[in-house]
Chains A and B, each alone.
Chain A
Amino acid sequence: QSVLTQPPSASGTPGQSVTISCSGTSSNIGSNHVFWYQQLPGTAPKLFIYGDDQRPSRVPDRFSGSKSGTSASLAISGLRSEDEADYYCAAWDDTLSGPVFGGGTKLTVL
């Protein structure tokens, strides 16, 4: 069982907006930055969001991250077929003294 909690699945049609949630506690999300990773089928994860809401330059601005208290969200607007992937959140956990992941959310573009 993962330390951070994500919904196992999410879906939307092309052009729609989708939000993926990530819930934690005061020892992880509540006191540390959140990271999001995209894992396309058969490939390694890629960093998509860091520092709660910062995007690497290669990530389209359709993707945005936010955090409030002990929860974080990844929002995707203008959904495209190439966005279909697994998305994982992560954060440092002060109690465990290491980074922890969410269980991942499989995004399906219908």
Chain B
Amino acid sequence: QVQLQESGPGLVRPSETLSLTCTVSGGTIRSYYWNWIRQPPGTGLEWIGSIDYSGNTNYSPSLKSRVSMSLDTSKKQLSLRLTSVTAADAALYFCARTGDYVTSYLAWGAPRTAPLFFDLWGRGTLVTVSS
């Protein structure tokens, strides 16, 4: 059974860098996209970015200037760095997997697939921003 576990310091000072890690256990990290999503207290979900096995990244335009993600394939760990944090960055941070699913079959029997966004989530780690 694949599980995701986020970890990192629960407290970050304003203007400093937030660093989190997500460890994937019980399964492969190949053939998936790995995401960071956050949820400020009492509010909704915000996608931060994603990375694939080859290290290709895609970041939310609103956070692109401050965020970077990396993937350690040997340790099966996904990392997030968010620079120059403010109180607005205080949130529950989740890592989540994007897989795919079959939508139809082509004439010669090959499957056509589409992204299966966030089919697996970690429990999340709470980050507070305070001096």
Which residues of A line the B interface, CB within 8 A? 2, 33, 35, 37, 43-47, 50-51, 54, 56, 88, 90, 92, 96-104
Q: Are B44 and A88 neighbours in the complex by a CB distance under 8 Å? A: yes
Q: CA separation between A93 and B44, bound complex, in Å?
A: 17
With A46-B121, A51-B101 as known contacts, state yes or no: A97 contacts B44, CB within 8 Å: no
B63-91 interface code vs A (CB 8 A; 1 in, 0 out): 00000000000000000000000000000
Which residues of the other chain, A, contact B50 by a CB distance below 8 angstroms?
A: 98
Q: CA separation between A17 and B94, bound complex, in Å?
A: 31
Q: Are B61 and A51 neighbours in the complex by a CB distance under 8 Å? A: no
Which residues of B line the A interface, CB within 8 A? 43-47, 49-50, 58-61, 94, 101, 103, 114-124
Say what secondary structure dominates the interface of chain A. strand
Q: CA separation between A56 and B119, bound complex, in Å?
A: 9
Say what secondary structure dominates the interface of chain B. strand
Which residues of the other chain, A, contact B103 by a CB distance below 8 angstroms?
A: 51
Q: CA separation between A51 and B47, bound complex, in Å?
A: 19
Closest to B115 in A: A92
Q: CA separation between A92 and B33, bound complex, in Å?
A: 14
Q: Are B121 and A45 neighbours in the complex by a CB distance under 8 Å? A: yes
Q: Are A96 and B61 neighbours in the complex by a CB distance under 8 Å? A: yes
Which residues of the other chain, A, contact B121 by a CB distance below 8 angstroms?
A: 44-46
Which residues of the other chain, B, contact A98 by a CB distance below 8 angstroms?
A: 47, 49-50, 58-61
Q: Are A35 and B123 neighbours in the complex by a CB distance under 8 Å? A: no
Residue from B114, B117, B122 in contact with A44 in the complex, judged by beta carbons closer than 8 Å: B122
Q: CA separation between A37 and B83, bound complex, in Å?
A: 29
Q: CA separation between A46 and B46, bound complex, in Å?
A: 15
Residue from B58, B120, B124 in contact with A97 in the complex, judged by beta carbons closer than 8 Å: B58
Q: Are A2 and B44 neighbours in the complex by a CB distance under 8 Å? A: yes
B60 to chain A, nearest CB (A): 6
